[in-house]
């Protein structure tokens, strides 16, 4: 039932209304007034609370179950971080509040910038991008600004390995570039010869994820960096998989000129059913003059340190602001809190235990007869199994395995990504899962493999334990039904 369908004409949640003290409409001209009410739900407060509580229970979430969605880093989101973001001083702070009423907030952001510089090995950090994709945009826009500043306008291409996230090519196009894809070799590393053939005076830069979406560390990264730099291009690091190497390797040391981080992944801020994210960018010396604004600066005064916003007046070559205000501030506060709770020792362990968990699962599943996409390689924080043999011999595909896992109470791994591995599942356990949970998931997959051999319809019909069975996506796209069209309430 939709919220609309439990309403009744004239019902309302009166406690939420202001007691109107003023004559309606005031100076609003007649022609500019609304004539017919919009048609929002007419429900009581209890009905709202019950409806949305019940809806929430139709979701899988980290708080309710293991959620090994590859490349999404679904780790525990500490409640303490959530709590501090809800402190009144932070929650009610207006984005345009003067600096004298902003020192608490700004000091957190300044320190977060410093920590992020530290873990990435970059020269400067801007916290303003609101998601990974906007961080990518900022990064490639900076690459473009750099070449334009140098009068180097013949650079029209961004190189992207075929395993990359779809956001990478989409971002390059938003920044006015053409995309040239570079092949990935059988071992999961970029094909160096293909890169050598692709790079040239038209190359503006290369966008890369390392560890790659193949779940392996790109071993020839220094050679790649040298190739691109020698051709005059810059290197972009997609931080989607930063969790794998936190505390172990710094992208700045690998030769990257610019990166974005997904704080909703690596810094444990909640994913919120699809957002908000937070995608700060870090830059090396070449791109420092172009960072998006605002960033937080620190001034020493007789009364102590004063934090302030640095905008285009101080950073004239900046690519500028990307939103109305400073970005997803509430998420940045949570990331700062997470960084403080972990500290440097905790951060070192993130990559270690994320990697331990992934390698353990990969080994267990391999021993049980699953085919790893890269059996000769170390897994990083995630790994890929491919169901192409099962698809061929048993008629059950990767999606069937994914759907059956839901019946076992586990969220499915990422399916059919990266695109270059057929029938694949990309599994990322994260460091916050216990051995018992990993074993439970592996046991479930092993049991599903047995089902696939004996009663494959258990997979092809799955899920059967959830509020709905498989949905008709074709109908959804063909008979578009995006808004409820009936009148808002039952009429009396």
Partner 1 sequence: MPFVPHTADDEQQMLATIGVSSIEALFDEIPKALRSGVLKQTPTGISEMDLLRLMGERAKQDQVRLSFLGAGAYHHHIPSAVWDLVGRGEFMTAYTPYQAEASQGTLQLIYEFQTMISRLTAMEVANASVYEGASAMAEAILMAVRANRKSKSHRILCAGSVHPNYLSACRNIVRNQNLHIDVVDTGDQSGTLDMAQMAVYEGQDYAALVVPYPNFFGALEDVDALTDWAAAQGMLVIAVVNPVALALLKPPGEWGAQGADIVVGEGQPLGVPLSSGGPYLGFMCCKQALVRQMPGRIIGRTNDLDGKTGFTLTLQAREQHIRRAKATSNICTNQGLLVTAATIHMSLLGDQGLYAVACDCHGGMMNLLNKALGIPGVSRRFSAAVFHEVVLRLPKPAAAVLATMAGDGILGGYDLGLVSPALADCMLTNVTETKNEADIDAFVSSLRRACEG
Asked if 467 interacts with partner 1 (CB under 8 A), we say: yes
Residue whose C-alpha is closest to residue 176's, from 120, 225, 122, 137:
137
SS3 47: helix
Applying CB under 8 A, which of residues 37, 151, 304, 316 lies at the interface with partner 1? 37
Applying CB under 8 A, which of residues 68, 139, 232, 327 lies at the interface with partner 1? 327
Bridge pairing between strands 295-301 and 178-182 = unpaired
Applying CB under 8 A, which of residues 52, 185, 201, 443 lies at the interface with partner 1? 52
CB of 230 to partner 1, least distance (A): 19
Binding residues for partner 1 restricted to 161-190, rule: CB under 8 A: 165-167, 169-176, 179
**Residue with Cβ nearer partner 1 (55 or 197):** 55
**Residue with Cβ nearer partner 1 (150 or 389):** 150
Asked if 3 interacts with partner 1 (CB under 8 A), we say: yes
Cβ neighbours of residue 55 under 8 Å, at least 6 residues apart?
Answer: none
What is the distance between the alpha carbons of residues 87 and 386, in angstroms, rounded to a whole number?
A: 46
> Does the CA dihedral 209-122-326-82 come out positive or negative?
positive
What is the distance between the alpha carbons of residues 54 and 113, in angstroms, rounded to a whole number?
A: 40
CB of 412 to partner 1, least distance (A): 5
Asked if 435 interacts with partner 1 (CB under 8 A), we say: yes
Binding residues for partner 1 restricted to 231-250, rule: CB under 8 A: 245, 247-250
Asked if 425 interacts with partner 1 (CB under 8 A), we say: no
Q: Prior bond to 183 cis, omega within 30?
A: no
Binding residues for partner 1 restricted to 72-91, rule: CB under 8 A: 72, 74-78, 80, 82-91
Applying CB under 8 A, which of residues 253, 305, 443, 457 lies at the interface with partner 1? 253
CB of 231 to partner 1, least distance (A): 21
CB of 225 to partner 1, least distance (A): 11
Asked if 308 interacts with partner 1 (CB under 8 A), we say: no
Instruction: Count Cβ atoms below 10 Å from residue 143 Cβ, excluding itself.
Output: 27
**Residue with Cβ nearer partner 1 (81 or 394):** 81
Task: List the structure tokens of 272.
Answer: 């919120």
Task: List the structure tokens of 13.
Answer: 């949640």
Interaction mask 185-214, partner 1, x per CB under 8 A: ------------------------------
What is the distance between the alpha carbons of residues 449 and 50, in angstroms, rounded to a whole number?
A: 39
Applying CB under 8 A, which of residues 68, 70, 110, 115 lies at the interface with partner 1? 115
CB of 449 to partner 1, least distance (A): 18
CB of 32 to partner 1, least distance (A): 5
Binding residues for partner 1 restricted to 340-379, rule: CB under 8 A: 340-350, 352-353, 355-357, 359-360, 363-364, 377-378
Applying CB under 8 A, which of residues 150, 154, 434, 447 lies at the interface with partner 1? 434
Binding residues for partner 1 restricted to 119-148, rule: CB under 8 A: 119, 121, 130-134, 136-137, 141, 144
What are the DSSP calls for 263-281, one per residue?
Answer: HHHHT----TTT------E
Binding residues for partner 1 restricted to 265-304, rule: CB under 8 A: 268, 270-277, 292
What is the distance between the alpha carbons of residues 461 and 1, in angstroms, rounded to a whole number?
A: 25
Task: List the structure tokens of 153.
Answer: 């306008």
Task: List the structure tokens of 122.
Answer: 């970059």
- For residues 128, 134, 135, 138, the Cα torsion angle rounded to the nearest 10 degrees is -90
Which DSSP symbol is given to 293? S
Applying CB under 8 A, which of residues 96, 302, 375, 491 lies at the interface with partner 1? 96
Q: Are 353 and 372 in contact (CB under 8 A)?
A: no
Task: List the structure tokens of 332.
Answer: 């940045």
Cβ neighbours of residue 5 under 8 Å, at least 6 residues apart?
Answer: none
Applying CB under 8 A, which of residues 159, 184, 190, 216 lies at the interface with partner 1? 216
**Residue with Cβ nearer partner 1 (119 or 449):** 119
What are the DSSP calls for 302-355, one per residue?
Answer: TTEEEEEEE-TTTSTT----SSSSSS-HHHHHHHHHHHHHHHHHHHHHHHHHHH
Asked if 63 interacts with partner 1 (CB under 8 A), we say: yes
Applying CB under 8 A, which of residues 200, 289, 456, 463 lies at the interface with partner 1? 463
Applying CB under 8 A, which of residues 8, 48, 192, 444 lies at the interface with partner 1? 48
Applying CB under 8 A, which of residues 151, 303, 482, 491 lies at the interface with partner 1? 482
> Of 226-234, 332-340, 388-396, 420-428, which part binds partner 1 (CB under 8 A)?
332-340
What is the distance between the alpha carbons of residues 63 and 66, in angstroms, rounded to a whole number?
A: 8
What is the distance between the alpha carbons of residues 82 and 333, in angstroms, rounded to a whole number?
A: 9
């Amino acid at each position: 039932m939709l919220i609309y369908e439990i309403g009744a004409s004239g019902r309302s949640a009166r406690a939420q209304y202001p007691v109107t003290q003023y004559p309606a409409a005031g100076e609003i001209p007649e022609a500019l007034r609304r004539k017919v009410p919009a048609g929002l739900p007419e429900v009581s407060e209890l009905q709202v609370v019950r409806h949305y509580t019940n809806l929430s229970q139709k979701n899988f979430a980290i708080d309710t179950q293991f959620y090994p969605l590859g490349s999404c880093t679904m780790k525990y989101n500490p409640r303490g971080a959530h709590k501090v973001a809800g402190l009144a001083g932070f929650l009610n702070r207006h984005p345009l509040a003067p600096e004298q009423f902003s020192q608490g907030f700004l000091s957190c952001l300044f320190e977060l910038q410093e920590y992020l510089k530290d873990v990435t090995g970059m020269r400067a950090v801007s916290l303003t991008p609101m998601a990974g994709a906007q961080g990518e945009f900022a990064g490639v826009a900076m690459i473009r600004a750099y070449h334009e500043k140098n009068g180097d306008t013949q650079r029209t291409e961004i190189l992207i390995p075929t395993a990359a996230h779809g956001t990478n090519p989409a971002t390059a196009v938003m920044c006015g570039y053409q995309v040239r894809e570079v092949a990935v070799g059988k071992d999961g590393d970029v094909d160096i010869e293909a890169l050598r053939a692709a790079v040239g005076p038209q190359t503006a830069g290369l966008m890369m994820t390392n560890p790659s979406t193949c779940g392996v560390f790109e071993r020839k990264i220094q050679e790649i960096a040298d190739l691109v730099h020698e051709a005059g291009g810059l290197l972009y690091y997609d931080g989607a998989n930063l969790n794998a190497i936190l505390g172990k390797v710094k992208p700045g040391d690998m030769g990257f000129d610019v990166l974005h981080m997904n704080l909703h992944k690596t810094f444990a801020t909640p994913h919120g059913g699809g957002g908000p994210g937070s995608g700060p960018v870090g830059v090396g010396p070449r791109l420092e003059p172009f960072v998006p604004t605002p960033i937080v600066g620190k001034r020493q005064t007789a009364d102590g340190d004063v934090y302030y916003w640095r905008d285009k007046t101080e950073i004239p070559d900046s690519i500028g602001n990307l939103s109305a205000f400073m970005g997803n501030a509430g998420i940045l506060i949570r990331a700062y809190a997470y960084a403080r709770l972990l500290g440097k020792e905790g951060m070192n362990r993130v990559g270690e235990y994320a990697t331990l968990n992934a390698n353990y699962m990969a080994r267990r599943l391999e021993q049980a007869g699953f085919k790893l996409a890269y059996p000769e390689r170390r897994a990083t924080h995630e790994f890929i199994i491919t169901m192409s043999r099962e698809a061929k011999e048993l008629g059950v595909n990767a999606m069937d395995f994914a759907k059956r896992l839901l019946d076992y109470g586990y969220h499915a791994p990422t399916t059919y990504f990266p695109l270059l591995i057929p029938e694949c599942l990309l599994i990322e356990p994260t460091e916050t899962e216990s051995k018992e949970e990993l074993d439970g998931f592996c046991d479930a997959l092993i049991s599903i493999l047995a089902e696939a051999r004996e009663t494959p319809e258990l997979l092809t019909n799955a899920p059967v334990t959830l509020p709905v069975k498989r949905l008709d996506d074709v109908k959804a796209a063909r008979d578009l039904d995006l808004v409820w069209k009936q009148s808002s309430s039952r009429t009396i």
